[in-house]
């Protein structure tokens, strides 16, 4: 009998959903200590975690060969609700001890759930002569804490191409009672990388993981996307934090009956101590991009992108602007996407494009870069706007990809302007989010009955246009020179851009938005020197900036002030909960003073 279509679809849906259902359950084994001493009591726990703990049936304990079962199974359950999702756990625990020295295995336990049998992995227990806790008495308590509280750094890949994303995750593992007021001691250094913060541990959510047979509470402290800007062996330095830990107090016999009485664990059994822990160093191998078949339009982008374009009209008149929009979107460091080279007919003028970015930092960094050009035709005719080229390297396919936007044909009719009414760049203004063209009406020239050359008005009418024309020609030449030299334009606009960033930062400071404030201050400081020294964003580091400042004989004290200001700003940006320790007003004033003093010294030397 053939299965009807409804049954087929139902079966497909069940098969698709089954992995999600299965992956939502876990059954693990753990111990509270390992190694243990001969005859030392320790706890073995088998924990089921899932949505429906009432569905757990027929628990079967392992064979505790080489161990004595002192009590158990002891049943405990717990429930929690996170973001509306209900989950719980059911634990079966035993207290056991071992009677001889050696390494012994505790076999698999099993339960039945939803018609399936779940089993745990075997545990290996090391049994030593004597009690490990007794051996460690009198030693540094930090060593005991370190076994039960530590940070681990994980990279999702060890080998990658230059410009390819690697995600580094910092996890805190603990079996101790800790306070939430952790503080950053030292941030990791990303020398040779462009870094994008993905998550920061403002509110750490803990779950359970078993590591080397021990059960830990684990929370993500920090997750960052790194894009290497150079080849070779690179390192990410450790992340160091201070954690308040609740530990048992050492009993001290003083000979005083009252001191001994109040030092009794019943009255004062624990205290909070601050413990410093740090992660491991991450080592990565960055391989160069292939040197063959590199497109001419390639400028270093790595990822997977697409390009689209649109134009607001294909028929226009002379001096009436046309809006050309380009969108580049995909996965990769979208901030480093350069504006593609636009080739225009000789009779077209263009203006500095309007650029917007939308960045998605959930996991793999992705986003959209929107570029809007304003094109103004100066003569009539039919003209072709050639396609823009954008190239990137796809690390998954290990090949270069070149994309092209559409080409457009624009028909330009003669406008109504006269030869004396030429529209310059000042006649076009960007208003808000849209581009609007201010059309200058033709001058209404009326014939005068009589021109008196001996009057001041006549000479003013003759001389002023000549002066204005001279100024206009000089300005036009300078504008053309800057348009053809992007680096020179960046250099000369560095102070203006930094001043704008500082102005934005002041608004954010007054609105009490510390995260956005420190981001804007950072862009003001780093962007100022990036423009001054013509350093690409991906290659900019504090060390390189300091070297460039030394090379230009900037005062050592000012260089030190700049580095101190930049480091404090970065610390406030990336250290969760630390912004309050650095006053925003103080940070704003320091940054402004540094930029002003740097500009004074640059202006005095003029040797860039």
The one-character DSSP state at 29 is E
**Cα distance between residue 102 and residue 124, in whole Å:** 10
Cα end-to-end distance, the chain, whole Å: 85
The tokens describing 79, both together, are 């429930």
**Cα distance between residue 515 and residue 572, in whole Å:** 8
The tokens describing 486, both together, are 């992007």
**Cα distance between residue 258 and residue 266, in whole Å:** 14
**Cα distance between residue 226 and residue 377, in whole Å:** 44
- Mean pLDDT across the chain, nearest whole number? 76
- The confidence score (pLDDT) of residue 383 equals 92
Secondary structure of residue 369 in the 3-state scheme: strand
Nearest 5°: the CA angle 560, 564, 565 is 115
Extended beta strands in 250-297, E state: 270-278, 282-287
- The confidence score (pLDDT) of residue 269 equals 60
The tokens describing 386, both together, are 């050639």
Comparing 455 with 268, which gets the higher pLDDT? 455
The tokens describing 253, both together, are 């016999």
- The confidence score (pLDDT) of residue 95 equals 83
Q: Facing residues of 105 across strands?
A: 124
Count of alpha carbons within 13 angstroms of residue 369, beta-carbon side: 20
* Rg for the chain, CA atoms, rounded: 35
Average of per-residue pLDDT across 90-105: 86
For residue range 526-550, what is the model confidence (pLDDT) as tens digits? 888 877 777 766 566 777 777 788 8
Q: Which residues contact 156 (CB under 8 A, 6 or more apart)?
A: 166, 167, 168, 169
pTM: 0.54
Please, are residues 101 and 38 in contact by the beta-carbon 8 Å criterion?
yes
- The confidence score (pLDDT) of residue 180 equals 64
Task: Lowest mean pLDDT of 74-83, 121-130, 235-244, name the range.
Answer: 74-83
The one-character DSSP state at 346 is T
**Cα distance between residue 314 and residue 603, in whole Å:** 47
**Cα distance between residue 442 and residue 420, in whole Å:** 8
What CATH number was assigned to the domain covering residues 141-287? 2.60.40
Phi, psi (deg, nearest 5) at residue 567: -65, -40
Q: Which long-range contacts does 546-553 make (Cβ < 8 Å, 24+ apart)?
A: 552/602, 552/605, 552/607, 552/608, 553/605
Secondary structure of residue 564 in the 3-state scheme: helix
Whether the pLDDT of residue 124 is over 70: the answer is: yes
Give the whole-number percent of the chain exceeding pLDDT 90.
Answer: 16
For residue range 202-246, what is the model confidence (pLDDT) as tens digits? 677 888 887 777 788 888 888 999 999 889 999 999 998 888 887
Please, are residues 574 and 518 in contact by the beta-carbon 8 Å criterion?
no
Whether the pLDDT of residue 567 is over 60: the answer is: yes
Dihedral over Cα of 220, 224, 225, 228: its sign: negative
Nearest 5°: the CA angle 192, 196, 199 is 130
Average of per-residue pLDDT across 450-460: 58
Please, are residues 77 and 168 in contact by the beta-carbon 8 Å criterion?
no
Does domain 305-439 match CATH 2.60.40? yes
Task: Lowest mean pLDDT of 64-73, 492-501, 518-527, name the range.
Answer: 492-501
- The confidence score (pLDDT) of residue 246 equals 76
Nearest 5°: the CA angle 290, 294, 297 is 140
Whether the pLDDT of residue 445 is over 60: the answer is: no
Q: Which residues contact 283 (CB under 8 A, 6 or more apart)?
A: 158, 233, 234, 235
Q: What is the full DSSP assignment across 131-177?
A: -HHHHTTTS-HHHHHHTTEEEEEEES-SEEETT--EEEEEEEEESSE
Give the whole-number percent of the chain exceeding pLDDT 70.
Answer: 72
Secondary structure of residue 597 in the 3-state scheme: helix
Q: Domain 23-135: which topology?
A: Immunoglobulin-like (2.60.40)
Whether the pLDDT of residue 507 is over 80: the answer is: yes
Please, are residues 432 and 336 in contact by the beta-carbon 8 Å criterion?
no
- The confidence score (pLDDT) of residue 425 equals 47
The tokens describing 161, both together, are 């191409």
Q: Specify the pairing of strand 116-119 against strand 85-98.
A: unpaired
Whether the pLDDT of residue 432 is over 80: the answer is: no
For residue range 299-317, what is the model confidence (pLDDT) as tens digits? 889 999 999 999 999 999 9
Average of per-residue pLDDT across 55-59: 84
The tokens describing 571, both together, are 């610390």
Q: Facing residues of 411 across strands?
A: 315, 382
């Amino acid at each position: 009998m053939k299965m009807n279509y409804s049954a087929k679809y139902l079966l497909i849906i069940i098969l698709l959903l089954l992995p999600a259902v299965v992956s939502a359950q876990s059954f693990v084994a753990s111990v509270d200590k390992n190694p243990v001493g001969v005859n030392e009591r320790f706890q073995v726990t088998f924990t089921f975690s899932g949505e429906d703990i009432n569905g757990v049936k027929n628990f079967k304990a392992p064979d505790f060969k080489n161990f004595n079962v002192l009590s158990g199974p002891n049943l405990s359950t717990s429930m929690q609700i996170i973001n509306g999702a209900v989950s719980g756990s059911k634990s079966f625990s035993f207290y056991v001890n071992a009677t001889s020295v050696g390494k012994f295995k505790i076999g698999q336990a099993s339960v039945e759930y939803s018609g399936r049998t779940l089993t745990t992995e075997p545990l290996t227990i090391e049994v030593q002569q004597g009690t490990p806790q007794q051996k460690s008495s009198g030693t540094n308590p930090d060593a005991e804490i370190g076994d039960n509280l530590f940070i681990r750094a994980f990279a999702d890949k060890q080998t990658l191409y230059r410009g390819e994303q690697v995600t580094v995750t910092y996890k805190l593992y603990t079996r101790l009672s800790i306070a939430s007021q952790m503080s950053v001691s030292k941030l990791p250094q990303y020398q040779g990388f462009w870094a994008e913060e993905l998550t920061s541990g403002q509110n750490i959510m803990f779950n359970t993981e078993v590591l080397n047979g021990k059960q830990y509470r684990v929370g993500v402290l920090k997750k960052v996307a790194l894009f290497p800007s150079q080849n070779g062996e690179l390192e990410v330095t450790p992340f160091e934090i201070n954690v308040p830990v609740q530990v048992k107090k050492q009993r001290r016999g003083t000979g005083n009956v009252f001191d001994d009485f109040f030092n009794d664990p019943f009255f004062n059994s624990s205290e909070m101590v601050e413990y410093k822990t740090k992660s491991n160093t991450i080592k990565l191998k960055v391989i160069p991009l292939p040197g063959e078949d590199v497109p001419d339009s390639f400028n270093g982008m790595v990822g997977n992108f697409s390009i689209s374009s649109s134009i607001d009209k294909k028929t226009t008149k002379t001096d009436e602007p046309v809006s050309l929009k380009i969108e580049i979107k995909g996965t990769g460091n979208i901030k480093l996407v350069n504006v593609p080279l636009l080739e225009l007919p000789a009779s077209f003028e263009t203006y500095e494009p309007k650029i917007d970015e939308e960045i998605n930092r959930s996991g793999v960094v992705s986003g959209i870069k929107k570029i809007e050009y304003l094109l103004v035709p100066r003569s009539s005719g039919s003209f072709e706007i050639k396609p823009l080229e954008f190239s990137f390297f796809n690390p998954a396919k290990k090949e270069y990809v070149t994309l092209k936007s559409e080409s457009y044909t624009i028909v330009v009719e003669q406008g109504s302007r006269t030869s004396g009414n030429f529209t310059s760049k000042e006649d076009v203004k960007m208003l808000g989010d849209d581009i609007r063209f201010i059309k200058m009406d033709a001058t209404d020239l009326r014939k005068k009955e009589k021109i008196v050359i001996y009057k001041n008005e006549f000479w003013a009418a003759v001389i002023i246009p000549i002066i204005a024309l001279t100024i206009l020609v000089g300005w036009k030449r300078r504008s053309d020179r800057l348009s053809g030299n992007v680096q020179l334009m960046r250099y000369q606009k560095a102070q203006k851009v930094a001043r704008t960033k500082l102005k934005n930062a002041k608004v954010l400071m007054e609105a009490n938005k510390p995260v956005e404030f420190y981001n804007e201050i950072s862009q003001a400081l780093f962007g100022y020197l990036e423009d001054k020294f013509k350093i690409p964003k991906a290659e900019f580091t504090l060390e390189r900036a300091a070297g460039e400042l030394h090379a230009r004989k900037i005062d050592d004290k000012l260089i030190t002030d700049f580095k101190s200001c930049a480091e404090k700003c970065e610390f406030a940006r990336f250290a969760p909960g630390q912004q309050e320790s650095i006053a925003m007003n103080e940070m704003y004033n320091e940054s402004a003073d540094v930029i002003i003093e740097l500009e004074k010294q640059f202006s005095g030397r003029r040797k860039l």
